[in-house]
Amino acid sequence: MILDDPQGAKTRPASLKKSMTPTENTQHETVLHTRDAQIAKVYAESLLRAAVRQNKAELMLEQLHTVVHDLFSAQPLLEKFLSSRAIRHDQKEHVIRSALGEGADPMFLDFLLVLNRHDRLDMLRAIWLNLRNLQDERAHRIRVKVRTTVPLNEAEQQQLKKELHDGFGLEPMLEVRTDDQLLGGMIVQVGDWLYDGSVRSKLDRARKQLLARSNYVVQSWRDRFSPD
């Protein structure tokens, strides 16, 4: 697999921000952030194209997830080490090979080494997120965030999946977590779409309706008895 650095992007000069005003610095950081996001997406697209040709799309997503969420969580210093541009490429390569061992697929290992050569290992999290979104789109999946007061059992999750599948026509991937702030019910979010079926939400709506009704009644009595 050959993945060149997108658009021939070079390492950001460390001295550039020193001569900028606060406003210029903020604008510059925004541009760099946007540019980095675009580069991360290009890498994710390149990895996905190569993986699809070898029927390894899900495997690449799984192994990248393992590094970003499992390995980095267990060894926080490893992420800092790989992200640092003050450390030589050969030192990082040695650590990458040692940390992953023989468990890494050759394509995935090659991808990490390409990122290393181009000083892009600090983009691993952004690349993972882009790869997940691209693979979800390819596999006709949607990510669904669910908040409940108590954990959903298997039957409840399957029922929710069925309703979401019927509504969106895509395979839902549930991300369920409990929320002590909810009084009951659940909140379901798919992108910008939000269903709030919590008891707290219903109480808030009832309170607003009651206030609106009270204001209407008060205004009606004022209009009725106000002098002409």
Q: 118 near 5, Cβ under 8 Å? A: yes
CATH number, domain with residue 178: 3.40.30
Query: Please, which pLDDT band fits residue 132 given cuts at 50, 70 and 90?
Result: very high
Among 99, 120, 138, residue at a domain's last position: 138
Phi, psi of 30 (to 5 degrees): -65, -45
Same domain, 182 and 84: no
Higher pLDDT, 123 or 5: 123
Measured between alpha carbons, how far apart are the two ends of the chain, in Å?
A: 85
Q: 128 near 65, Cβ under 8 Å? A: yes
pLDDT in tens, 137-184: 999 999 999 998 888 899 999 998 998 899 889 999 999 999 888 777
pLDDT in tens, 45-84: 999 999 999 999 999 999 999 999 999 999 999 999 999 9
- Beta strands (DSSP E) in 22-129 are none
Residue 26 has pLDDT above 90, yes or no: no
Higher pLDDT, 215 or 164: 164
Same domain, 36 and 128: yes
Residue 10 has pLDDT above 80, yes or no: no
What mean pLDDT is reported for the chain? 80
Is 93 within the bounds of a domain?
yes
Query: Please, which pLDDT band fits residue 9 given cuts at 50, 70 and 90?
Result: very low
Residue 96 has pLDDT above 70, yes or no: yes
Look at the chain and count its residues: 228
Integer Cα distance of 52 and 170 in angstroms: 20
Among 138, 155, 178, residue at a domain's last position: 138
Same domain, 125 and 37: yes
Q: 118 near 89, Cβ under 8 Å? A: no
Q: Report the number of distinct structural domains present in the chain.
A: 2
| Predicted structure pTM score | 0.69
Same domain, 209 and 147: yes
Beta pairing partners, 147: 177, 187
Phi, psi of 174 (to 5 degrees): -80, 135
pLDDT of residue 79: 95
The distance between the two most distant Cα atoms of the chain, rounded to a whole number of Å, is 90
Integer Cα distance of 147 and 9 in angstroms: 41
pLDDT of residue 185: 77
Give the count of beta carbons closer than 10 Å to the beta carbon of residue 115. Answer: 22
pLDDT of residue 192: 82
Is 11 within the bounds of a domain?
no
pLDDT of residue 225: 52
Full domain range(s) for residue 158: 141-223
Among 98, 116, 138, residue at a domain's last position: 138
Is 121 within the bounds of a domain?
yes
Q: What mean pLDDT do residues 117-142 have?
A: 95
Is 45 within the bounds of a domain?
yes
Same domain, 129 and 33: yes
pLDDT of residue 114: 97
From its phi and psi, is residue 187 left (phi > 0), alpha (psi between -120 and 50) or beta?
beta
Same domain, 46 and 89: yes
Is 171 within the bounds of a domain?
yes
Query: Please, which pLDDT band fits residue 194 given cuts at 50, 70 and 90?
Result: confident
Integer Cα distance of 132 and 48 in angstroms: 10
Same domain, 134 and 145: no
